[in-house]
């Protein structure tokens, strides 16, 4: 792991091994890639009926699973906006801290796939709740192309407003004054835009202390060096897939230089914006855009830390068999603990 930025140390570079991923992980990402391709149609629509069978989901559980309980909360039934709350099952998790921090999480899936109930993200959020520890709010936002930009950003911000206004929405040991935004891939893109909206929004109770941006999905008309380098041998993320996703998400007639995708053209220098940890994988075709995001935050006068995992693919942190996955959760734990204590 390499890291740079405010208050961080630069680790020595790590030479990539000949086969960085276990066969089981390689098989899993190949299957996921194939399934996402099956769900995409050439006319820009998604085969929801097929995906409903392929996207395995699990219900919330008030019975502890891996020492974490969960429940679903409706924000707006008319647009199917809800979130799943994860809480450590033992009250000892909050001992000495005056309440647990709240991690508002946005799942990935290119704005078009998956949900807060998807098995993979249910496992991720349980792991965050247990390891930080924290109250995790996993947002089930609307999906494109049925609901295009800016619906996902609207949904994310409306969840923050709901949490700020409804003191009974979360467990009693949740400290909404210690709120963190987090997401991976497209979810990290949503977290960024929600963070921009949240700055100076005048919340009464909710205070965003930090942001965790895990391999965020950004882009532009220019083909970056990493996109070109991994064009023929990338997994999960490819130019064909990302081009399709941007076209399905952005307003009709927009290019990939729209501010939703190419955020570095915006000016946030005078806006309130939380300290951010940006996590990058060295085998991720999106890595150049992710580094540009980090560099833009620094130029804008914002506190940011870049953490690089040279041998990791897109979404690697979701695979617990990888040692680097545990490092990501430890990095997030330390960041949340430091900001909460301050």
Interatomic CA distance for residues 43 and 34, integer angstroms: 18
Is 296 within 8 Å of 302 (Cβ atoms)? no
Interatomic CA distance for residues 242 and 10, integer angstroms: 31
Concerning whether 314 is annotated as a catalytic residue, the answer is yes
Concerning whether 284 is annotated as a catalytic residue, the answer is yes
Burial (Cβ within 10 Å: 0-12, 13-18, ≥19) of residue 274: buried
Select which of 138, 185, 224, 238 is catalytic.
185
Concerning whether 122 is annotated as a catalytic residue, the answer is no
Interatomic CA distance for residues 208 and 176, integer angstroms: 9
Select which of 284, 288, 325, 340 is catalytic.
284
Sign, Cα dihedral of 255, 257, 260, 262: positive
Is 184 within 8 Å of 108 (Cβ atoms)? yes
CA atoms within 13 A on the CB side of 175: 16
* 50, 83, 171, 201 from 88: Cα distances, Å: 34, 17, 10, 30
Select which of 107, 192, 193, 314 is catalytic.
314
**What letters, b where the CB count within 10 A reaches 16 and e where it falls short, cover 253-263?**
ebebebebbbb
DSSP state of 46: B
**Residue labelled with tokens 């924000």:** 75
- Rg value, the chain, Cα: 19
Mind spelling out the 3-state secondary structure of 150-176?
A: CHHHHHHHHHHHHHHHCCCCCCCCEEE
* 36, 163, 256, 317 from 243: Cα distances, Å: 14, 34, 8, 24
Catalytic residues, by residue number, are 185, 284, 314
């Amino acid at each position: 792991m390499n890291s740079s930025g405010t208050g961080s140390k630069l680790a020595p570079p790590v030479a990539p091994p000949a086969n960085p991923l276990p066969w089981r992980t390689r098989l899993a990402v190949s299957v996921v890639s194939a399934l996402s391709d099956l769900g995409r149609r050439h006319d820009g629509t998604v085969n929801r009926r097929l995906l409903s069978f392929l996207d395995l989901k699990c219900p919330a559980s008030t019975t502890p699973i891996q020492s974490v309980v969960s429940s679903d909360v409706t924000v707006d039934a008319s647009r199917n906006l809800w979130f799943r709350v994860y809480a450590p099952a033992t009250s000892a998790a909050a001992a000495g801290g005056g309440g647990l921090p709240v991690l508002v999480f946005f799942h990935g899936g290119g704005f078009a796939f998956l949900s807060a109930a998807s098995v993979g993200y249910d496992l991720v959020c349980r792991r965050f709740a247990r390891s930080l520890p924290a109250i995790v709010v996993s947002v089930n936002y609307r999906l494109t192309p049925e609901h295009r930009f800016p619906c996902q950003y609207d949904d994310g911000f409306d969840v923050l407003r709901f949490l700020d206004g409804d003191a009974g929405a979360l467990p009693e040991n949740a400290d909404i004054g210690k709120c963190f935004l987090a997401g991976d891939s497209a979810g990290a893109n949503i977290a960024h835009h929600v963070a921009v909206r949240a700055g100076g929004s005048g919340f009464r109770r909710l205070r965003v202390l930090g942001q965790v941006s895990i391999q965020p999905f950004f882009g532009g008309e220019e083909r970056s060096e990493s996109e070109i380098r991994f064009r023929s041998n990338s997994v999960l993320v490819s130019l064909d897939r990302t081009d399709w996703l941007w076209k399905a998400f952005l307003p009709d007639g927009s290019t990939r230089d729209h501010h939703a995708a190419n955020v570095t053209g915006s000016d946030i220098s005078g806006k309130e914006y939380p300290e951010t940890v940006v996590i990058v994988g060295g085998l991720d075709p999106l890595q150049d855009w992710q580094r540009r995001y980090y560099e833009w935050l620094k130029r804008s006068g914002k506190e940011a830390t870049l953490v690089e995992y040279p041998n990791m693919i897109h979404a690697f942190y979701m695979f617990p068999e990888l040692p680097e996955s545990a490092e990501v959760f430890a990095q997030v734990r330390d960041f949340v603990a430091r900001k909460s204590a301050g």
